[in-house]
Amino acid sequence: MTDTKMAAKQQQGESWGELAKTVIYAGLIAVVIRTFLFQPFNIPSGSMENTLLIGDYLFVEKFSYGYSRYTFPFGAWPVGDKLHGRFMGSSPQRGDVVVFKFPQDNSTDFIKRVIGLPGDRVQMINDVLYLNGKPVPRERVADYVGNLDGEEGHWTQYRETLPGGKSYVTIDKTTDGPLDNTEVFTVPAGHYFMMGDNRDNSDDSREAVGFVPADNLEGKALFRFFSTDGSARFWEVWKWPFAVRYSRLLTLVK
């Protein structure tokens, strides 16, 4: 073998080695980002409509409330699964849209809005949200027009404003549903009360979800990076032109 061929072969080997290193480094960076900074999340249900729609893809900011064993893959700290509490922890605010582990099954992720903080009293009376004995102010806004829970129609919407000023829109499908009148829920220390914006079709703290421990918080929903109408999956690029909801791309979650 000539010196020229040997040099070319050596150079090719070095190129493959550099490529392998680049792939490994990129993979490690992606793991670090997903574990500690931002995690993608797909909306599978309509409990947060019209704020979040089925087919929305979000980035969740994982460092918003610090880190717990549930912010790591497989629900365990890298130093062992007996450690509890939050590292560099901070508290969510009323109105934050949060991804958390379902308290009754920590393999399942939920996304809801924080309504009650520790010590708060939360209740629904005649279709109106009460917080610490006072009705949360709301005003009627334009109807939501479209498919809601499998039905086409015009649906009543209200803009609620929580103490502290956080404002958001909820859908009120019925005025006398099973979730429109509830007992008083007093949020225990170290827990939060979550509700969906689609008030009459949300499995939240009024029912099976119950109070959500601070340990179960995974992060704050930050912005939508992609959205489809459900006729295309994320990897079905050829369907994007007709399936993508262009108006929802790169929009903040409020």
As annotated, the active-site residues are 47, 112
Contact present, 70 and 216 (Cβ < 8 Å): yes
Sorted by sequence, the CB contacts under 8 Å of residue 10 that are 6+ apart come out as none
Q: Where are the beta strands (DSSP E) in the chain?
A: 38-42, 56-61, 97-102, 105-116, 121-125, 128-131, 134-135, 138-148, 151-161, 167-172, 185-186, 191-195, 212-213, 217-227, 251-252
Distance CA 210, CA 207 (A): 6
Pair of tokens at residue 162: 């929580």
Tokens standing for residue 206: 């009024």
Tokens 């290193």 label which residue?
Answer: 21
Give which of 206, 141, 205, 204 is closest to 168, Cα–Cα: 141
Contact 75, 101 (CB under 8 A): yes
